[in-house]
Amino acid sequence: MSTAGKVIKCKAAVAWEVKKPLSIEQVEVAPPKAHEVRIKILASGVCRSDDHVLSGALQVKFPIILGHEAAGVVESVGEGVTCVKPGDKVIPLFAPQCGECSTCKHPRGNLCKMGDLAASGVMPDGTSKFTYKGQQIHTFAGTSTFAEYTVVHESAVVKIDATAPPEKVCLIGCGFSTGYGAAINSAKVEPGSTCAVFGLGGVGLSTVMGCKAAGASRIIGVDINKDKFPKAKEMGATECVNPMDFKKPINEVLYGLTDGEGVDYSFEVIGRTDTMTAALASCHMNYGTSVVVGVPPSASEITFSPALIFTGRTWKGSIFGGWKSKEAVPKLVSDFMGGKFALDPLITHTLPFDKINEGFELLRSGKSIRSVLVF
């Protein structure tokens, strides 16, 4: 029996308020309007950005359905949608690509105007597609993948290889692409260079992989959890340091490891202001580049000495690894299928959707790299 054009009742993990576990509820998912696509989610990763909402670091409107790193299959499409059809295997895109806005038209731009970085909690048309007993539930990042079905704008979904395993390639929807691209696209790491990666979670390890793929000769992993070091070395880190082992600041430690020069490229993949400035201070004072990859807390500000950048350093941000999503995601999936990079080492836990809170606990305790929920 076709569900096209009808409201679908399904399970979703609803965040009702900050610092409370998610609750699995039966929600109603509206059919797609013109230029919208309804997707049956097959797998969704648990990303630190989702947890930033639950901790209160990232401010959003509640109640909300989180999740933005997923793979699924198109259930139905609204009027005028030509990019995908029912049955297509797809990845939803929290960083859409409409192809029409000034950013999409710029060769370096990838922050499309259709995205919801400001956390408005609604779709481009100003509505949310989810209700619970008549109450509106907000959308997260235009994707809301912690649900059996979700609705996205056509600019926020792309067709991928039908044979790709959803429980692995879902990481290309956020974590892997964000880290890998930060090294390759945003920093443009060069062969023979020295890199430092602050934070060795899923995105940090993907950054390490990007540095290695770009030909860096030294990749220094930095984390206060030494349990992350063996995996980091497996993924390409040449050495790892724990800031807690030193009395002096980590930037001085890194200068000491590089004959007083500093690293060529540093990456902050945590989302803390103190580590952002430490990463900046760790790169070469003249030609060093430091990239902010971690999502900063909503209410935070940074104080730093302008001398740090006056000498020539470059400090920049990176969203979704600098990739133009619709163009890059299918290629990255094909590269994965062709064995160009591995995703398995990043996925430490695979859990049924109902165990979503366990996935967040594993993340907070530092026991997991990526937990993937399967539906």
For residue 365, what are the contacts with CB-CB under 8 A and spacing of at least 6?
Answer: none
Residue 269's identity, in one-letter code, is V
pLDDT (0 to 100) of residue 58 = 85
Q: What does DSSP assign to residue 156? A: G
The letter for the amino acid at 40 is K
Active site residues: 47, 49, 52, 68, 174
- Cβ distance 147 to 128 under 8 Å? no
- Assigned CATH for 8-173+342-374: 3.90.180.10
Strands (E), the chain: 8-15, 23-29, 36-46, 64-65, 70-77, 89-92, 130-132, 135-139, 149-153, 157-159, 194-198, 218-222, 239-241, 265-268, 289-292, 314-317, 347-352, 370-374
Tokens of 298: 């909503």
**Residue 4 C-beta-side C-alpha neighbours within 13 Å:** 12
pLDDT under 70 in the chain at which residues? Answer: 1
Domain with CATH 3.90.180.10 in the chain: 8-173+342-374
Interval 211-269: pLDDT, tens:
999 999 999 999 999 999 999 999 999 999 999 999 999 999 999 999 999 999 999 99
Question: What pLDDT score does 315 carry?
Answer: 97
Enter the DSSP assignment of 61.
P
* Per-residue confidence (pLDDT) for residue 1, from 0 to 100: 67
- Distance, in Å, from the CA atom of 204 to the CA atom of 291, rounded to the nearest integer, reads 12
Task: Work out the angle at residue 183's Cα, subtended by the Cα atoms of residues 180 and 187, and round it to the nearest 5 degrees.
Answer: 150
Report the pLDDT value the prediction gives residue 57, as an integer from 0 to 100: 85
Using alpha carbons, select from 265, 187, 192 the residue that is nearest to residue 222. Answer: 265
Place of tokens 């704008």: 153
| 8 CB-near residues (< 8 Å, 6+ apart) | 28, 29, 31, 38, 75, 149
In the chain, where does the domain assigned CATH 3.40.50.720 lie? 176-296+303-321
**Domain 176-296+303-321 annotated CATH 3.30.1180.20:** no
Please, how many CA atoms are within 13 Å of residue 247, restricted to the half-sphere of its CB? 0
Tell me the CB-side half-sphere exposure of residue 101, using CA atoms within 13 A: 15
Give yes or no for a contact between 94 and 47, defined as CB atoms under 8 angstroms apart: no
Residue type, position 74, single letter: V
- 184: which DSSP letter? I
